[in-house]
Chain A
Amino acid sequence: MTIESLEQLYRDRYPRFLRLALATVGSREAAADVVQEAFARAIRHRDEFRGEGSLESWIWRMVINTGRTQQKRGRRRAELERSQDLASSNGHAEPWPELRAAAAALPERQRQALFLRHYADLDYEQIGEVLGIARGTVSASLHAAHRSLRETLEGARA
């Protein structure tokens, strides 16, 4: 694997990587940082890529892991900011807050499968490769996630 092949992937798929990161961390700036950091890590650890799966899957995994790390840091930062009363709001309501909350509350594997399906636009096979699970497990995870979200939304509507 060469840096050029990573660059090609970056240029070809950047909006999708960004969208997945955005779904994970919630802010555009943080999402861009996640993608940058994920690719930087990929370059640093490129020797560890053994070619067992596709390069793209490896990168998706990097983005997910980096997003997760960023999210943890973000939570800590948010708590700190709350304690210092520094948090601010731009006054615009976010769309579908109950859906957002429900997605955030999903078990991790379901949430990752959901994001990879809807925001990275990967098929079940690729999602399985990224998450290291069987195709059937992907299908079951997505089914459970969709059902859970539907129930939340219907509950909110009622």
Chain B
Amino acid sequence: MSDTLLFERLDQLVDNCAGAHGDWDDVLYRSGVVAAPPLQWRRPRRFANRRALVLAAVLAFLLVILFATPAFGLLRDWIGRKDVAFNGKTAPFVIKREFADMSLGQPKSWDPQVIASESRKVVVFKAFGRHYVLYVAPTRKGGFCWTIVGMGGSCASARHTPSSYPGEPAGNVNSYLLGVMSGMQRVPGTRAQFHGELSGTVFAENAASLRIEYEDHSFVQVPFVYVSEPINAGFFFWGRPSGHRRVGTRPLAVSARDSHGKLIARVVVLHEVQRPTKAPPGQAPVPLKLPWRLPSVPKPPFQRGRAEGVSIVAGKNGVVVIDTSHAAARVRALIEQGAAWDCLAFFGPYHESDPTGLSMSLQPQMSRQTMVLRGIPMPIAGCEISGYYGRRWHDPLAAHRGVEIPLTARGKRYFMNRAAAGDLELFVHLLHTRRISRLSGRALDSAISRYFGTEIQRLASSTSSLAPRRIGYVHIPGGAIFYERSTTGRRFSVAVEQGKLGLEREGR
């Protein structure tokens, strides 16, 4: 027999696996890697050689020429939008974990169902002499989530264009087509802070340019990227120049226009504007009439809470102040690594939710921060500090947030219940990772015993007693129902049948 024939047969013996692709997230999960500290900002690459340097210099010179000519006005719109295909570099683990964590502890209807493994690096914005990296991930609901490293992010569900959008605040036009957030920056070397960047999303596909309109009637075009399917949305991040931080020159609104300059959408920057300014002589008056002034100090009656040296004071007027000046060392370390805070209230059809979607970054140098919650029924259930950490079972924080400060009894129960539900969710995920989620009967018993010892309790029936924060299970055909009881007594359960999750069931 010739070597060639032997080699051919050897080749046929094992499938060539062409086109197979693995699951890197699973590797990371198995490895037990926890979220690293926030990414270090990458410096721009140095020019590899002299030729590249010369080329860059020529290019820069040409751009200067172009921008200095009257043609700039025409070019500016073109420069405003940059279309980007959603096929960039895959996001690092810490970002994927951040996206994955968005689902933890969420009521089902609020779970963004982000596909963390598909997250991509989209663009690097530059502001305040630093680089801000934007990552975006699609969701199973047809929407997307995004984050700018160190600055936080948000999610958008599948878009729908309302046929009518009544009740827009004065000055807004089709505000559902623009999402605008205002962030705080610290004055270097001081504890003072100022409204720094404006960032957000553009849902208008035909948007060709984006403007920041100032109170003094001037405006500036800001660049934005428009990401292709499945994201199909634009993103911007703009650092405010120092000349536009005082009353009268601050940003008033963000607006999007089409290629003909026609206004598509406009959103007034409520965080910025406290009172309308007078029009300069000879100019039309400012059209905006703000319906309210944002308060800045909590008004009585107060709600107060404290945990691990972090205190919260919430006023009836929706102003919440967090004070971390006496935070425990663990909390200070968490804040150093990057953390954000938000508050919760119970309202609406879901009974429990983050009332505003407003989450503010905590800066190590700023021990007090204020958040204004508008349109939220008081009292607030509680506030929390979350870090950018990965989670796996057992979670070092027992599926709690970094710091949880309940302000009502109901809020306290919510934090305890959410931790139990989150813990159960992490455990069930571990079953998938360990490849034992498809087992049932004795095979499942033996696998659970092998991996978890006596930690997971086999229950005689679904009503058998179960100690708080312990996980138990009962057999069902093709799988099991796993239970965890919160310290409040509420029992959560997840059915795993043939490796698939059944509907989450709750009982007493």
Contact = CB atoms under 8 A, between A and B. Distances in A.
Interface in A1-59: 3-4, 7, 10-11, 14-16, 18-19, 22-23, 28-29, 32-33, 35-37, 39-44
Interface string A105-148: 00000000010001100000000000000000000000000100
Contacts of B18: 15
B230 interface: no
Contact of A44 (B7, B20, B32): B32
Nearest to B94: A3
A22 B15 contact: yes
Contact of B6 (A18, A95, A150): A150
Interface stretch (B23-31, B278-286, B420-428): B23-31
A11 to B, nearest CB: 7
B1 A154 contact: yes
A149 B11 CA distance: 13
Contacts of A32: 22
A81 B231 CA distance: 48
A36 B432 CA distance: 13
Nearest to A2: B92
B192 interface: no
A50 B340 CA distance: 39
Contact of A39 (B13, B27, B92): B27
A44 B32 CA distance: 7
A100 B19 CA distance: 24
B30 A40 contact: yes
A4 to B, nearest CB: 7
A18 B22 contact: yes
A64 interface: no
B13 A153 contact: no
Given A14-B21, A18-B20, A4 B30 contact: no
Nearest to B32: A44
A31 B218 CA distance: 63
B93 to A, nearest CB: 6
A14 B16 CA distance: 11
Contact of A153 (B1, B12, B24, B32): B1
Nearest to A38: B27
Nearest to B36: A3
Contact of A10 (B3, B10, B13, B22): B22
B24 A7 contact: yes
Contact of B11 (A3, A18, A118, A146): A118
Contact of A28 (B3, B7, B15, B26): B15
Contacts of B23: 36
A99 B33 contact: no
A14 B22 contact: yes
A150 B1 contact: yes
A40 B434 CA distance: 12
Contacts of B14: 19, 22-23, 119
A99 B13 contact: yes
Contacts of A19: 14-17
B289 interface: no
Nearest to B11: A118
B1 A103 contact: no
Given A11-B22, A28-B15, A153-B9, 16 more contacts: A4-B92, A14-B22, A15-B16, A19-B17, A36-B26, A39-B31, A43-B27, A43-B33, A44-B32, A95-B13, A99-B9, A114-B10, A118-B7, A118-B11, A154-B1, A157-B1
Give the top 4 A-B pairs by smallest Cβ distance, nearest first.
Answer: A40-B30, A43-B31, A40-B31, A15-B17
Interface of B: 1, 3, 6-7, 9-24, 26-28, 30-33, 90, 92-93, 435
